Structure 1
């Protein structure tokens, strides 16, 4: 899973954050755990490794439901259109057909 190219992430000083989709104008607020997981996705961490990375960050002490909750978070990102399969459903920004990978159209 990879974030769509048109999704911007901003982390706030309190380590919460939000996502903004430049195509649709949709936004979603992330708590600290959501921000942590989002940054791992941006870095290319495979979804199956997310619960282990979360456990490492928390000193290994996670409730038994953590893996299921992480999968639920990923499912909500998938259903919301925030992430897609690698190499498949990632939406390119305007102008990408001309080789422009910026979210702004080529001049």
Structure 2
């Protein structure tokens, strides 16, 4: 269950993921025509945001738990990595946040 003060993340509809053979990927923003490269962790997060991963959903707790399980990292490390990645996605305009405040302050 999502707490009321936690945002839900979702990819913008105009952003496409292309997975590469080595587990990495590239995002294409169809509006700006810019590409963004993703490492394996970034691909896993993006797939989860898109509902493609086994732990689909854009809630912070879901994403943090997925990172802990998939990459064998501590919850604190997963949360810190998620914060940084989401801040970068927001800055690039690739995701939307609804409710709560995280990653750059302000609601989505």
TM-score scaled to structure 1, two decimals?
0.71
CA RMSD of aligned residues (A): 1.7
Residue aligning to 1:70: 82
- Provide the C-alpha distance between the structure 1 equivalents of 2:30 and 2:36, rounded to a whole number of angstroms: 12
Runs of 4+ in structure 1 displaced over 6 angstroms? none
Which ranges of structure 1 fall in alignment gaps of 5 or more residues?
A: 87-107
Residue aligning to 1:50: 63
Number of aligned residue pairs: 85
Q: How does 1:5-44 map to 2 (within 5 A)?
A: 5-43=13-51, 44=57
TM-score scaled to structure 2, two decimals?
0.71
Which ranges of structure 2 fall in alignment gaps of 5 or more residues?
A: 1-8, 52-56, 99-108
Q: Shift of the alpha carbon at 1:26?
A: 1.2
Indicate the structure (1 or 2) with the bigger Cα radius of gyration: 1
